[in-house]
Structure 1
Amino acid sequence: MDWLLLDWLTLTRWGLGIFLGMGILLFLFRIILTWYPQIDTQALPYRWIVAPTEPFLVPTRKLIPPIGGVDITPIVWVGICSLVRELLLGQQGLLVLLSLH
Structure 2
Amino acid sequence: MSFVTPTLVAVLPVVHLMLGLLLTVWTLCFLVRIVLTWYPQVDLRVGLWPLVAIPTEPLLASTRRLIAPIGGVDVTPVIWLGLISLVRELLVGQQGLLSQLLIRSSMVG
Provide TM-score, normalisation by structure 2. 0.85
Q: How does 1:1-101 map to 2 (within 5 A)?
A: 2-99=5-102, 100-101=104-105
Shift of 1:2: 4.6
Instruction: Determine helix, strand or coil for the equivalent of 1:63.
Output: coil
Aligned length: 101
Higher relative helix content: 1
Structure 1 residue runs of 4 or more that deviate by more than 6 Å after TM superposition: none
Unaligned 5+ segments in structure 1 are none
Residues 39-83 of structure 1: per-residue CA shift (max 9 Å, x gap): 111111112211111011111111111100000111111101100
Letter in 2 for 1:42: R
Q: Taking every aligned residue pair, what percent have the same amino acid on both sides? A: 50
Whichever of the two has the greater Rg, that structure is 2
Unaligned 5+ segments in structure 2 are none
Instruction: Determine helix, strand or coil for the equivalent of 1:36.
Output: coil
Residues 15-39 of structure 1: per-residue CA shift (max 9 Å, x gap): 1001000000000000111100111
In 1, Cα distance between the equivalents of 2:43 and 2:92? 36
Provide TM-score, normalisation by structure 1. 0.92
Instruction: Determine helix, strand or coil for the equivalent of 1:31.
Output: helix
In 1, Cα distance between the equivalents of 2:96 and 2:60? 26
